[in-house]
Amino acid sequence: MRPLILIPCYDPGPRIETTVRDALAHVEGLPVWVVDDGSGRATRERLARLATEYERVQVLHHETNQGKGAAILTGIRAAQQAGFTHALTLDADGQHPSERIPAFIAAAGEQPDALILGRPVFSTDAPALRVHGRKVSNFWANLETVWAGIGDSLFGMRVYPIDDLIAVMEGTRWMRRFDFDPEAAVRLVWRGVTPVNVDAPVQYFDAEHNGVSHFRYGRDNRLLIWMHLRLLAGWLPRLPTLLLRRLRMKRR
C-alpha cells in the first residue's frame, strides 16, 4: 500500500493554505497533491508558494474549471503512473478534520481492497439544510447498493483504491462534477468494493472565517436527481447480483 493525500481545489480562498498545512502536519512523509481545477490568479499564487515551501506538495493544474470529479481523475491518473495505490481525498475548504487522516490511512491499511468512507459527525451549528438534505441522497445510494453499508454518500473525505476508482470512472462519461462523491461510492460497490465507514467531525466556516462554498442548491440538487435516475437505470439489471452478494455477506 502506497497512499497519498489528494485535494481537488477551485478558488477556496485562504483556507487552502490551512488545509494543506494541516494535512502535512498530521502525516509524516505522505505526499500532498493539489489539483487546481481552473482557479484564479490568487489561488494559483497560494499553491505556488506552498509547493515552493514544502517538498511533499505537488500541484497539478486544469486551465479551465472541469468539476470535482474531473480534478480527482486527473490526480489519480497521475498518482497511478507514479506508483501510488490509494488516494485519501480532502475538500480544500477545511471542513474535513486533518487530525483524522491517520485513522483513515490505518483503516485502508487494514483493508486495502475496501473503500474507506468518512461518516460526518455534525456539530450543532451545522446548516440544517445541508444536514437533513443529504439524507435523501443517502437513501437512494443505499437503495442502489441494496444497503451494502454506505454510511454517507456525499462526504468527500475518503480513501479510494486508485485502480478500482480509475476503472469505474473510465467506464462512464459521468462522475466529473458535483455528482462525483455519491456516484463513486455506488459504482465502486457495484464493482465489488466493500465500503468501510470511519467517523469524522465536520466544521463549517462562514465568510467571516474565510469560508468559501461553491454549492448552489438548485443547480447541484438537479445534478444529484439526474445522477440517481441514471443509477437506478443501471441498478435494475444488477439487482439479482447485488441481492446475491448481500445474502452472502449476511451469511458471513
Each residue's pLDDT tens digit, 170-224: 999 999 998 899 999 999 999 999 999 999 998 875 655 555 565 555 666 788 8
Convert the pLDDT of each residue in 76-106 to its tens digit.
999 999 999 999 999 998 889 999 999 999 9
3-state secondary structure at position 205: coil
Mean pLDDT of 106-135: 87
Task: For residue 208, give the DSSP letter.
Answer: G
> Nearest Cα to 214, choosing from 177, 181, 185?
177
| Domain 3-251 fold | Spore Coat Polysaccharide Biosynthesis Protein SpsA; Chain A (3.90.550)
Q: What is the largest CA-CA distance in the chain?
A: 55
Q: What integer pLDDT is reported at residue 248 of this predicted model?
A: 85
Amino acid letter at 226? Answer: W
What integer best gives the mean pLDDT of the chain?
Answer: 91
Domain chopping of the chain, boundaries: 3-251
C-alpha cell read off for 163: 485502480
* Residues shown for the chain: 252
Convert the pLDDT of each residue in 136-171 to its tens digit.
899 999 999 999 999 999 999 999 999 999 999 999
C-alpha cell read off for 87: 488516494
Mean pLDDT of 31-45: 96
pTM assigned to the model: 0.91
Q: What integer pLDDT is reported at residue 126 of this predicted model?
A: 72
3-state secondary structure at position 118: strand
> Nearest Cα to 138, choosing from 69, 200, 185?
185
Mean pLDDT of 221-230: 87
The answer to whether 85 and 161 have CB atoms below 8 angstroms apart is: yes
State how far the alpha carbon of 217 is from the alpha carbons of 40, 129, 138, 143, 237, in Å.
23, 10, 17, 23, 31
Q: What integer pLDDT is reported at residue 47 of this predicted model?
A: 97
How far, in Å, CA of 128 to CA of 130, rounded? 5
- Contacts for 226 with CB less than 8 Å, ≥ 6 apart: 179
Q: Residue 102's Cα: distance from chain center in Å?
A: 16
Helices (H), the chain: 15-26, 41-53, 68-81, 101-110, 128-144, 162-170, 180-191, 217-251
How far, in Å, CA of 158 to CA of 86, rounded? 10
